Amino acid sequence: MAQFEFGYTSGFDLYQRYKNPVDDLAYPGAGNAILSLNAGPKLWIGSPKISLSLEAHANLGLLTLSLKDYKGLGSVSFPMLAKINFNALSGMTKDFGAGWAIGGGIAYTRTELFYLSEKYKDLGVNRTFYPTYIAEINFGGGGYANIGYFYVRYGYHFDTKASLLNIGIMSDKVFSSQRRGGAQPEPMENSAVNFTMY
């Protein structure tokens, strides 16, 4: 019988690259390799071998910028994903091990969050949220309500030519497994020292 779990996912990007829809006013790209944080809720349904998960999180890049054509600073992206998870990434396993996942969805992204320069304001540059259709693959491991994995996410929009690339590390915490106790470590037998609390 299928199990249901809930929790949250969080982590950081090792690298991110965003390309806005082309507007012929300014260079559309911006990237970042530091100070990029992710967090949001996540749900799992399935079994220890395979599960379906749904997640939506915020990805905030504090120092995202364009080195080629500086216009402003910062980015935020809101990816919403459905994934098929295998083995240790299923969110259901009570034993530590390895696993992988693959999925897709949609993301809404905006760059130049802060300090858009007056030069580009005068040119008519106005950064708004743009959508991309995303695919993601994960490799990692874990167990007992704690999962960690490396991810690569790519997104593209065929009409606007907008895109995104996120590479990083995420950690999932499964709340409901913790409430049930999950897989506790085996008690030590024949211990040389015993402690009794009164």
Q: Residue 177: which H helix or E strand, with range?
A: helix 175-180
Q: Encode pLDDT of 13-26 as tens digits.
A: 999 999 999 888 88
Mean pLDDT estimate for the chain: 87
Across the strands, what pairs with 13? 168
Q: Encode pLDDT of 18-48 as tens digits.
A: 999 988 888 899 999 888 999 999 999 999 9
Q: Encode pLDDT of 70-113 as tens digits.
A: 888 999 999 999 999 999 999 998 889 999 999 999 999 999 98
With CA atoms as reference, report the closest residue to 9 among 146, 150, 173.
173
Within 10 angstroms of residue 166's Cβ, the number of other Cβ atoms is 26
What structural domains and CATH numbers belong to the chain?
A: 3-180 (2.40.160.20)
Owner of token pair 């709340």: 175
Model confidence, pTM: 0.84
